[in-house]
Amino acid sequence: MRRHLAAILLATSLLATACGAGDGADGGSAAPGEPDKVTVGVIPILDVAPIYLGVEKGFFAELDIDLELTQAEGGAAIVPAVVSEQYQFGFSNVVSLLLAQSEGLPVKVVSNGNNSTGVDGEDFAGLMVKADSPIRSAKDLEGRTVAANTLQNIVDTSVRASVREAGGDPSKVKFVALPFPEQPAALANGQVDAVFVVEPFQQAVLAEGGRKIASSYVDAADDLTVAVYFTSRQLQAENPDLVRRFTEAMQESLSYADSHPDEARQIIGTYTEIAPEVIEKLTLPKWPSDINRDSLETMADLAVEDGLLKETPDLNALLP
């Protein structure tokens, strides 16, 4: 845990030095009559379709926000960039932010990001094995190796929940870090026994004959809030009006995407390299405008049970 904190703080320090005191530190302040220029760190996955759709529909412009979306590989880069104010806002899974808060980083959630579909077997992410694997349920993962895109995060927390629900011992499951794009091949060649993948990699595993043995986000919590948008406490204190307007535009974007799935699919092709024929097959997440607090309380309890967090986090301090 201390190594994890040191890495984030070092990255934050390096980003602050690289940006200089002025870059991004004005919190989006603009000249009178001009829109606030705001940078948001996102990941090029289908989860963030609503914010791209919101830009296209003008929801942010209507609230005097000139939004720039910057793609990063994951929350490990986005969290320090937001803390150092290189980005004004960022997108991250909820367990990453629970960890960041527990380690003293000044982060504040401002909007929902995306949720599980809540339907077992029909979620946008799943725990997968090869067609000929002897593994029939998550319980059979005891003593086996599961690939996760990052360790000590929402993936292994959720997979452990599936193992518990199936009657197994989650402490007997071994996790190895492997980027999502590499997981289908690793499963096919026997490098790992199972993988936890999100779309479109779920489709890649299915195309090779793989089987889904659990919908771990569904197993972890009802209608799980998987990821959220967040800012730094400094920006929240210095420019609460900007945070309010961003949140309002983000909520409108989420509601629109959730009620217009065809347009959400269409926008995915503009910021990812997913082929159009694959986009049509993707299982989309849910995009409710409200955060499911109960699901985050469950994830926090699971993280404590798994030893990822030492104590129950203060959700009142983290959530809006």
Query: Residue 187: what pLDDT?
Result: 97
> What's the pLDDT score for residue 185?
96
pLDDT value, residue 19? 37
The residue from 220, 235, 260 where one domain ends is 220
Q: Which residues of the chain register pLDDT less than 70? A: 1-32
> Tens digits of per-residue pLDDT, 123-134?
999 999 999 999
What is residue 28's predicted lDDT score, i.e. its pLDDT?
56
Residues with Cβ within 8 Å of residue 28, at least 6 apart in sequence: 36, 37, 38, 65, 88, 235, 239, 242
* Whether residue 168 is found in the same domain as residue 259: no
- Which residue in this structure is represented by tokens 């919190």? 27
Give the pLDDT of residue 99.
93
Q: Indicate the residue among 220, 244, 277 that finishes a domain.
A: 220
Do 112 and 8 share a structural domain? yes
> In the listed set 170, 191, 220, which residue is the last one of a domain according to the structure?
220
Report pLDDT for 152. 86
Q: Is 201 left (phi over 0), alpha (psi -120 to 50) or beta?
A: alpha
The parent domain of residue 288 ranges over 2-116+223-318
Same domain for 206 and 133: yes
111 and 6 co-located in one domain = yes
pLDDT at 4: 42
- The per-residue pLDDT for range 219-277, each reduced to its tens digit, is 999 999 999 999 999 999 999 999 999 999 999 999 999 999 999 999 999 999 999 99
Q: Helix, strand, or coil here: 93? A: strand
- Does residue 235 sit in the same domain as residue 210? no
